[in-house]
Structure 1
Amino acid sequence: MALQLDQIDRNLLRALQQDSRRSVQELGDAVGLSASACHRRLKALEERGAIDGYRAHLDADRLGFTMQFFIEVGLTSQSEKALDAFEAAVRDIPEVLECQLMAGQADYLLRVICRDHEDFERLHRSLNARLPGVARIHSNLCIRTVKDRSGLPI
């Protein structure tokens, strides 16, 4: 069920998505609220689950992660037990940034990040060995990110 948000809430969420390091005073100024009113709104949005955390956006290239792959995974079974086992195993692999349960040709789509070809080879072998119930893996190398998620269209 979608939360009911007024225009000030939407403006506040947009401002946070642009730069969550702003002070409460700066955010309040940006949306036309006092610091105390802005703080109350933020706390209410957190309590209602509209804000699920605050994160730093790291530069993968500068940190040595120069390769990104999208990996389609097909399982031998789509039973609840098989899906649960796969999902539990994938959560323990730090190079897997995202894992999506899919409808279509692949059962799952993984977004993984690697330092180089050798790192990807190690990860690929590890995925085959560590992930239960894998029938097939199809890897796609990302050449360049055209648009990165910069926030929800609030």
Structure 2
Amino acid sequence: MLDDSDRRILRHWLAEPGLDRAVLAERAGVTPATLWRRIEKMKASGVVKAEGAVIDWRALGYAVEVSLRFTLDKTEPRAFDEFIAAARDVPEVIGIETFLGRVDLRLNVIARDMGHWTMIYRERILALPHIAEVEALMLVSTIKESAGLPL
């Protein structure tokens, strides 16, 4: 589906998302017109889902990030749907993931500080429906963070 030129474009684009398109084309070794056509083709095929801003939550004053792992009470047939619907309404939840195995779901939550985190946890997280078990993992540091792929 992707050829070497597409992979070069994606590698350079992922490494520096804000690059001017003319510079991106030069670095990828294609003309600007070719770059535009290839990006449009990758969008149409679903390889590139969207273009947008990458926001650093810490720069906006959110210093705490917590990953919460949930096991749900599965005696209720709609437990997953109801939990997910309620979790989507918590503004500080920046990620919701489902799993197979001992853990059913994971929420990634941000907060300004520990006081804010405590309020979110007590008032919003523990109010979510069908929780059988919850485990909180507080992020201490990020060693590697990359949107890059082995292209």
Instruction: Settle same-fold status: TM greater than 0.5.
Output: yes
Tell me if 1:51 matches 2:39.
Answer: no
* Equivalent of 1:142 in 139, 142, 146: 139
The 5 A counterparts of 1:32-111 are 32-77=29-74, 81-111=78-108
How far does residue 79 in structure 1 lie from its aligned partner after superposition? 6.3
**TM-score, normalised via structure 2 length:** 0.90
Unmatched tracts of structure 2, length 5 or more: none
Distance, in Å, in 2 between the alignment partners of 1:148 and 1:82 is 32
How far does residue 78 in structure 1 lie from its aligned partner after superposition? 7.1
- Identical pairs, percent: 29
Distance, in Å, in 2 between the alignment partners of 1:78 and 1:103 is 17
How many residues get paired?
Answer: 150
* Equivalent of 1:128 in 110, 126, 129: 126
Unmatched tracts of structure 1, length 5 or more: none
CA RMSD, aligned part only?
1.7
Letter of the structure 2 residue corresponding to residue 119 of structure 1 = H
**TM-score, normalised via structure 1 length:** 0.88
How far does residue 24 in structure 1 lie from its aligned partner after superposition? 2.2
List 4+ stretches of structure 1 deviating above 6 A. Answer: none
Provide the residue aligned with 1:18 in structure 2.
15
Distance, in Å, in 2 between the alignment partners of 1:74 and 1:80 is 14
Give the direction of change, closer, same or farther, for the CA distance of 1:72–1:46 in structure 2 (3 Å limit): same
SS in 2 for 1:72: strand
Letter of the structure 2 residue corresponding to residue 110 of structure 1 = L
Distance, in Å, in 1 between the alignment partners of 2:111 and 2:35 is 40
